[in-house]
Amino acid sequence: MRFVLTDEQREFARSLDALLRAADTPGVLRAWAAGDHGPGRALWRRLGDAGVFALAVPEAYGGVGPLPVEAAVACVELGRYAVPGPVAETLAAGVLLAGAGGPAAKEWLPGIASGAAMVSLRLPGHGPYALNADAADAVFTVDGDGLRRAPGPGELSVSADPARRLFRPGPGGEPVAGGRAVEAASRAAGDWASFATAALALGCGEELLRATVAYVKQRRQFGVPVGSFQAVKHRLADTLLGLEFARPLLYGAAVELTELSGGRAGAGSPGARAGAGSRTGPGMGSLGAGAAVAAAKAAAGEAGYAAARTALQLHGAIGYTEELDLAWWLRRARPLRDAWGTPSACRARVLAG
pLDDT digits (tens, 9 = 90+) for 278-287: 343 443 445 6
The per-residue pLDDT for 208 is 97
**Residues contacting residue 45 through CB under 8 Å, at least 6 positions apart:** 115, 116
- pLDDT, one tens digit per residue, over 88-124 is 999 999 999 999 999 999 999 999 999 999 999 999 9
> Distance between CA atoms of 85 and 164, rounded to whole angstroms?
7
Other Cβ atoms less than 10 A from the Cβ of 90: the count is: 28
Percent helix / strand / coil, the chain, rounded to 5: 60, 10, 30
> Distance between CA atoms of 191 and 193, rounded to whole angstroms?
5
Average pLDDT over residues 176-198: 95
The per-residue pLDDT for 263 is 59
Other Cβ atoms less than 10 A from the Cβ of 351: the count is: 9
Average pLDDT over residues 256-277: 55
**Share above pLDDT 90 across residues of the chain, in percent, rounded to a whole number:** 81
The DSSP secondary-structure symbol of 281 reads S
> Distance between CA atoms of 289 and 252, rounded to whole angstroms?
9
The per-residue pLDDT for 282 is 40
Predicted confidence band of residue 228 (pLDDT cuts 50, 70, 90): confident
Q: Between β-strands 119-122 and 224-225, what pairing exists: parallel, antiparallel or unpaired?
A: unpaired
Asked if residues 168 and 39 have their Cβ atoms less than 8 Å apart, the reply is no
Average pLDDT over residues 3-13: 93
Which segment of 5-9, 91-95, 249-253, 281-285 scores lowest on mean pLDDT? 281-285
The per-residue pLDDT for 220 is 82
Asked if residues 292 and 252 have their Cβ atoms less than 8 Å apart, the reply is yes
Average pLDDT over residues 175-200: 96
β strands within the chain, DSSP E: 119-122, 130-131, 138-143, 146-149, 155-157, 166-168, 174-178, 220-221, 224-225
Look at residue 270 and tell me whether its pLDDT is greater than 60: no
Sign (positive or negative) of CA dihedral 228, 229, 234, 239 = negative
The per-residue pLDDT for 144 is 84
Q: How far is CA 197 from CA 187, 250, 281, 325, in A?
A: 15, 10, 21, 21
Look at residue 196 and tell me whether its pLDDT is greater than 60: yes
Mean pLDDT score of the chain, rounded to an integer?
A: 91
Average pLDDT over residues 314-324: 79
Predicted confidence band of residue 264 (pLDDT cuts 50, 70, 90): very low
Global pTM? 0.93
The DSSP secondary-structure symbol of 286 reads G
The DSSP secondary-structure symbol of 144 reads T
The per-residue pLDDT for 277 is 30
The per-residue pLDDT for 280 is 37
Look at residue 179 and tell me whether its pLDDT is greater than 70: yes
Asked if residues 9 and 270 have their Cβ atoms less than 8 Å apart, the reply is yes
DSSP code per residue over 2-59:
-----HHHHHHHHHHHHHHHTT-HHHHHHHHHTT--HHHHHHHHHHHHTTTGGGGSBG
Average pLDDT over residues 61-78: 97
The per-residue pLDDT for 1 is 60
Asked if residues 251 and 270 have their Cβ atoms less than 8 Å apart, the reply is yes
Predicted confidence band of residue 212 (pLDDT cuts 50, 70, 90): very high
Average pLDDT over residues 157-162: 91
